Amino acid sequence: MKLSRFLILTSTIIMLAFSSNIMAQKYVGVKKCAMCHKSKKIGAQYKIWKKTKHAKAYETLKTEKADKISMKKDGKKAVDNPNCLKCHVTAYGVDKSLLGKKFKMENGVQCETCHGPGSKYKKKKIMKNHAKAVANGLVEYKTKADIEKKCKTCHNEKSPSYKGFDFEKRWKEIAHYIPGKKK
Ligand code: HEC
Ligand code: HEC
Ligand code: HEC
Ligand code: HEC
């Protein structure tokens, strides 16, 4: 009896510690990732991303076209509409305590949308070690199908402008590999 109570107590403590560890991972924002992911040597992921529409996804919501769609659907401006923001920016709707000081939703669909909140894995020592990075919150994609599934959380018929999604083609448009790392 006493032993089982002890076990329940300790396992609860361990679970709490574990979940608060996960909870503490914050969205740091694309500028932080850019510090190390700009150079040609590493694959210039930041520069590649910057040229994609993901970087402009918030800006798009400021256009007349966006407001027209949004007003008609929900009677509010697109930048004030959760039904638009949820796909057009990173970390929409998460608790404010999980947003780093430099995080800006104006930067649109950022690295951490696909890679997970980076406050814990962004240290160089951790980043260089795949298993450690994953243990610290880096999202792992084991197969192409996993990647496609992620894309389709936004690229789907709930998007007012949806016209289908050719995964293989679209992935090539945004791919940003590390040179020499065979995939
Ligand atoms: C302090 C520098 C630094 C920062 C900041 C940083 N990275 Fe990295 N990142 C690296 C290095 C170095 C590698 C390993 C490159 C290699 O394998 O050659 C890496 C690897 C990665 C990988 C591949 C890891 C794997 O195991 O598959 C991803 C994905 C990644 N970074 C995303 C990010 C994101 C997203 C951010 C911002 C939240 C970020 N990085 C911030 C330095 C950094
Ligand atoms: C389910 C996710 C999702 C939601 C919700 C969403 N969007 Fe989008 N939006 C996308 C995606 C993905 C694209 C890129 C086009 C594509 O390939 O589907 C896009 C593209 C756009 C474009 C540019 C394409 C064009 O036709 O010019 C506009 C404008 C736009 N969205 C406005 C809005 C507005 C306004 C809302 C809210 C009423 C909204 N979106 C809600 C995912 C979404
Ligand atoms: C729309 C989703 C998405 C966004 C946004 C995104 N990535 Fe990625 N990234 C991926 C996926 C998916 C992979 C895994 C590719 C694979 O394993 O085949 C990847 C791979 C990587 C890799 C490792 C490549 C390799 O060769 O192992 C790095 C480094 C990386 N991303 C950094 C970044 C950085 C930095 C940003 C922001 C500037 C960013 N990514 C934005 C989806 C994204
Ligand atoms: C969080 C939601 C989200 C996720 C996840 C996402 N996207 Fe997007 N994507 C968007 C939005 C929103 C746009 C439109 C931005 C705009 O036009 O302003 C877009 C636009 C694009 C475009 C440009 C489309 C065009 O019509 O020019 C490509 C290519 C693209 N995404 C590929 C991908 C791929 C590949 C993945 C998965 C690895 C992915 N996206 C994951 C939201 C997302």
**Cα of 108 from ligand 1 centre, angstroms:** 20
More confident residue, 20 or 102: 102
pLDDT-based confidence at 91, cuts 50/70/90? very high
Cα pseudo-dihedral 73, 76, 78, 83, rounded to 10: -60
Residue 99: left if φ>0, alpha if ψ -120 to 50, beta else—which one?
Answer: beta
Q: How far is the CA of 176 from the centre of ligand 3 (A)?
A: 6
pLDDT at 21 over 70: no
Lowest mean pLDDT among 8-12, 56-60, 120-124, 140-144: 8-12
User: Per-residue pLDDT for 2 more than 90?
Assistant: no
CA 43, CA 22: separation in Å to the nearest integer? 29
Q: Is the CB of 32 under 6 A from ligand 1?
A: yes
Q: HSE (CB half, 13 Å, CA atoms) of 52?
A: 20
- What does the block give as tokens for 14? 């361990």
How confident is the model over 152-166, as a mean pLDDT?
A: 97
Ligand 3 pocket: which residues have CB below 6 Å? 30, 33, 37, 45-46, 49, 54, 109, 111, 113-115, 141, 147, 176-178, 181, 183
94 falls in which pLDDT band (50, 70, 90)?
very high
> Measured between alpha carbons, how far is 151 from 147 in angstroms, rounded to an integer?
6
Q: What amino acid occupies position 10? A: T
- 67 token code pair: 């407001």
Percent of the chain whose pLDDT exceeds 90: 85
Among 176, 177, 182, the mutation site with the greatest number of ligand 3 atoms within 8 A of its Cβ is 176
